[in-house]
Structure 1
Amino acid sequence: MTESLVGHVLDGRYRVLSHIADGGMATVYLALDTRLDREVALKVMRPGLAADETFVSRFRREARSAARLSHPNVVAVFDQGEDDGTIFLAMEYVPGQTLREVMQAEGPLTPRAALDFLDPMLQALASAHRAGIIHRDVKPENVILREDGTVKVADFGLARAVTTQTTAAQTGMLLGTVAYLSPEQVERGIADARSDVYAAGLILFEMLTGEKAFTGDTPIHVAYQHVHGSVPVPSSRVADVPPELDALVAHATSRDPDQRPADADGFLAEVRNTRRALSPTELDHRPEGAAAAAGGASTVPVARTTALPLGAGAAGAGAADAAHTQVVSRSDRADQRAEERRDRGPWRWVVAALVLLAAVAAGLWYFTMGPGSPTVVPVVAGKTYEQATRELTAAHLNAKRVNAFDEKVAKDTVISGNPGAGAEVGRSTTVTLTVSKGPERYTVPELVGSTETEAKARLEEKRLSLGNTSQAFDEKVPAGQIVSTTPKAGTALKRGAAVNIVVSKGRQPIEVQDFTGKPADQAVGALTDAGLQVDATKQEFSTDVPKGSVISQSPATGTLYRGDKVTLVVSKGPEMVKVPDVQGKQIDEAQKILEAAGFKVKVDSFMGGIFGTVRSQDPGANADAPKGSTVTLVVV
């Protein structure tokens, strides 16, 4: 990159923390996703390529292709974006070692270790092949051993849909790392699932022998060998490799794609069958180093050939061989070496002695004062990273920082070192320091108003889990939405801790009780306690309902909700009216007067009431009596 992005925030979301690595198309940074509070690897396209639409298009296809994959052995792609001309991918951050680093440190691996790497690697490729995606750039640098032992395949940056027919000629360049390119990629610029199988077979060869199958001074020379040569069997370099593994490599790396397993699933099945066929002793045998094949150059003619351009056909190869091959017999070479020895004379012994003396001196310096001299790893656990680094530097050692959560060790304090304290190692050895990030805690997000499904997703993003779910009525939160959480939002919890939620059932229904004929005070108290509003201001006279009791209620029955209104009509008792004086009046007149005053009339005749005159009345004249009550008249 022309300018480091460390400290920048891309897309308003990704804060770039540090530089990780550089590649042909992009630079990779460690960044913090501030929205989800997690570390990610940002793959940022180089500025010079961002202006090339061909590269930009390929970079965006990478995001779409890789994002389709979801497998525990595939490095996940989270996001793709652009910020002021800076094009990037946000990917899963996988701290650990590449397979290349493992092989450089260990040399040839045991068959068991090699197959332990190959099995999950093929699982990842098989997942891609089933999704219609090929990797196109399978190599040890793209196979990562995570710190917990998980194997991940990274950088599907050259992956394309299987149906895509784009060739190398269309882009003007050959994609992929030449040491692992299949013959069809070299000749025709096309690849399918069998091309990934070919590369996986070459990686198995390299793990078993500690060497690449094909090497050369130039990439084109290596590519030529892929097209016109056969991949050697591992036992040609390390004699004690079991023949079953030779056969496995040979099948996967056949020059003819039709002779290889059809895809990673097919190769994986063969790998597992081969593993079962090997004994524990064969699986755990540790090769001492790569060895040249028996017979070597003394029995095989030496041919010098000029490598052809990529894609040259068989006819071109034959012409080149004829034009540039010189065969030298063994006897001729012997005569030539004898003549050379006579020409050199005794000076060659002087030169040899000086070279030997220089080598001994260099060796003594290397193993006593130089990088090969021994030193002891100091105690670093419990110290700050800066203190530990200073002590390692004083002991002529290098430090590599790896962060990890710890419940007991304080933040920025070293948990452990590898190699451990007291180990005797060579100078300049790198000691991996595991530094505490403090207790692993995650904050409970605000979930009130969310649905249960939304809450579960947000908790998983925060590395928390959904606990018990209960329900409760709520007058404000709609049904189906979260009312409250336990613990509350903002509380810091351990990874995976459960958060309980209460989900609203909506407003609580209230069954209305009919208080008609009952005391108004009792009705008002009960309805108010139920959460309803009561209007009992309206009053009416009633001869049937006692004073202070409910004449009518609206609504009298049914379902209401808190705050709804109930109207009561309260009795004032009967209406009292003065009884008119009708004594001495004729019955007809008296009856009209009383009825007009609102009374009913009852007539009792005395001695037949032949005169029709009111002699007496009950209640008496001017007495107060309930309107509508009966006045009894005695008529003579």
Structure 2
Amino acid sequence: MNDSFKMFLIALVTAVASQLLLGPYILKLQGFVPASEQAAQGRVTKLEQGARPAAAPAPATKLNAPNLEGMSVDAARERWRDKGLEIIEDGEKIDSSAEPGSIIEQRPAAGSPLASMEIRVTVAKATPETEVPSVVGQSLEEARKTLEGAGFQVPEPTSEPSREPKGTVIKQLPAAGEQVKAESIVRLVIAEAPAVKVPKVTGTRLPKARKLLEAAGLAVGSIRRVEHEERGEDYVLRQSPDPGAEVPPGTEVELVVVAPN
């Protein structure tokens, strides 16, 4: 066998081996797909076309409790009915600062996440009314004990001149028999001391006027002196309070008298 024939055989074997080993890859690069792979791809394609992907779960709706305080139960139900909320009245509570029938408490509180679609509420109850007892004519101590025992509040009293004994209750507000809310305030007026009637001192001289006022339990206040052509010195022209006025003991009476010539 000559050298040329040997080289021919080597080239032929190499070509066949190359075709067997590299042929499928070359065909793929040229766009040819073997029948077996086409069938497999067809099955995958059909599966992908026929299958429905699972729907993503819808996000859970989170609803916080609305603020119902101050609303009536009916108004709250009407307002939140379209949201599916159920407003459940869960008792009453006395609250003098709130409108009777309005919501004053809620569970869960406003702004809290709702675990269910129920909100339980407490509504305001009107403060019961109580009749005011009569304490006029009682001492301050007795009157305070009577009123506070009935559930009322009694602030420090005011006083007015009166012929009643000092410290006796002479007025009350609200008046006896009125129906008012429990824990309301009842104001009292007590007698200062027997009132003094101011004597007339006009037309007298200052020394006599002073004696008359002091005898009545009063005092001479400021004295203003003015000139007068007809009246002499210390003649009392005017006085204040006026004659006959009832005033507390010790009240000062202001005088206008004639100045020295």
Number of the residue aligned with 1:623: 178
Whether the 8 Å CA contact 2:67–2:111 is kept in 1: the answer is no
Q: Which residue of 2 aligns with 1:547?
A: 100
- Cα separation, partners in 2 of 1:268 and 1:589, compared to 1, 3 Å: same
Give the counterpart of 1:251 among 14, 30, 41.
Answer: 14
Structure with more helix by fraction: 1
Trace 1:369-388 onto structure 2 (pairs within 5 A): none
Amino acid at match of 1:503: P
Shift of 1:534: 2.1
User: 1 or 2 for the larger relative contact order (CA 8 Å, sep ≥6)?
Assistant: 2
Counterpart secondary structure, 2:186: strand
Deviations 1:132-180 (A, max 9, x none): xxxxxxxxxxxxxxxxxxxxxxxxxxxxxxxxxxxxxxxxxxxxxxxxx
| Alpha-carbon distance between aligned partners in 2 of 1:530 and 1:511, rounded to the nearest angstrom | 11
- Could you tell me which residue of structure 1 aligns to residue 50 of structure 2? 464
User: 1:94-126 deviations in whole A, cap 9, x for unaligned?
Assistant: xxxxxxxxxxxxxxxxxxxxxxxxxxxxxxxxx
Residue identity opposite 1:529 in structure 2? D
CA–CA distance in structure 2, aligned partners of residues 517 and 533 of structure 1: 17
Choose the corresponding residue for 2:158, options 604, 621, 629.
604
- Letter of the 1:625 counterpart: V
CA change 1:261–1:576 in 2 (3 A) is same
Question: TM-score of the superposition, structure 2-length normalised?
Answer: 0.52
CA distance in 2, matches of 1:270, 1:460: 28
Q: Which AA in structure 1 matches 2:184?
A: S
Whether 1:635 aligns to 2:195 is no
Would the alpha carbon gap of residues 628 and 460 (structure 1) be closer, same or farther in structure 2, given more than 3 Å must change? farther
State the shift of 1:625 in Å.
0.3
For residue 182 of structure 2, what is the amino acid of its counterpart? Answer: K
RMSD over aligned Cα atoms: 3.7
Equivalent residue number for residue 531 of structure 1: 84
Q: 2:15 and 2:188 mapped to 1: Cα distance?
A: 128
For each residue in 1:222-249, what CA deviation from the matched residue of structure 2 results, as whole angstroms up to 9, or x when unmatched?
xxxxxxxxxxxxxxxxxxxxxxxx9997
Q: Which has the greater radius of gyration? A: 2
* 1:597–1:271 distance in 2 versus 1, CA, 3 Å: closer
Give the Cα–Cα distance (whole angstroms) in 2 for the partners of residues 539 and 271 of structure 1.
Answer: 88
In 2: Cα distance, 1:617 partner to 1:600 partner: 12
Amino acid at match of 1:613: T
Question: 2 CA distance for matches of 1:272 and 1:462?
Answer: 23
CA contact (8 A) 2:128 2:182 kept: yes
- State the match for 1:590 in structure 2: 143
1:39-58 equivalence runs, <5 A = none
d(CA) in 1 for partners of 2:184 and 2:127? 10
Instruction: Give the deviation of 1:591 after TM superposition.
Output: 1.0
Q: Residues of 1 paired with 2:108 and 2:187: CA distance?
A: 41
Query: Hey, what's the Cα distance between the residues in 1 that align with 2:27 and 2:47?
Result: 37
Q: Displacement, 1:626?
A: 0.7
Specify whether residues 591 and 272 from structure 1 end up closer, same or farther in structure 2 by C-alpha distance, changes over 3 A only.
Answer: closer
Summarize deviations over 1:246-292 as a string: whole Å, max 9, x none: 99974354xxxxxx34973x33466799x9xxxxxxxxxxxxxxxxx
C-alpha separation in 1, matches of 2:74 and 2:127: 19
Q: Call closer, same or farther: CA 1:460–1:582 in 2, change over 3 Å.
A: farther
* Residue 59 of structure 2: aligned partner: 505
TM superposition shift of 1:463: 3.8
CA offsets per residue over residues 16-53 of structure 1, 9 Å max, x none?
A: xxxxxxxxxxxxxxxxxxxxxxxxxxxxxxxxxxxxxx
**2:67 is the alignment partner of 1:514:** yes
The CA deviation at 1:502 is 6.5
Quickly say closer, same or farther: Cα 1:578–1:247, change in 2 above 3 A.
Answer: farther
Q: Distance in 2 between matches of 1:584 and 1:612?
A: 10
1:577 corresponding residue in structure 2: 130
Taking only the aligned residue pairs, the percentage that are identical comes to 24
Change (3 A) 1:262 1:598: farther
Q: Is the 8 A contact 1:530 1:562 kept in 2?
A: no
Q: 1:271 to 1:544 in 2, by over 3 A?
A: closer
The Cα of 1:564 is off from its aligned counterpart by 3.3
- Using the TM superposition, give the Cα deviation of residue 505 of structure 1 relative to its aligned residue in structure 2, in angstroms: 1.5
Partner residue of 1:24? none
What's the secondary structure of 1:544's corresponding residue? Answer: coil
Residues 576 and 272 of structure 1: is their aligned pair in 2 closer, same or farther, counting only changes over 3 Å? Answer: closer
Counterparts of 1:588 and 1:539 in 2: how far apart (Å)?
Answer: 37
Counterpart residue type for residue 567 of structure 1: R
> Given the superposition, is the C-alpha separation of residues 558 and 249 from structure 1 closer, same or farther in structure 2, using an over 3 Å criterion?
farther
* CA pair 559-461 structure 1, distance change in 2 beyond 3 A: farther
The alpha carbon displacement at 1:538 in A equals 0.9
**Secondary structure at 1:566 match in 2:** strand
List per-residue Cα deviations over 1:280-329 (Å, max 9, x = no partner). xxxxxxxxxxxxxxxxxxxxxxxxxxxxxxxxxxxxxxxxxxxxxxxxxx
Contact 1:551 1:568 in 2 (8 A): yes
In the TM superposition, residue 516 of structure 1 has moved relative to its aligned partner by 1.7
Q: Name the aligned partner's letter for residue 86 of structure 2.
A: Q
- How far is 1:465 from its partner? 5.5
CA distance in 1, matches of 2:28, 2:105: 86
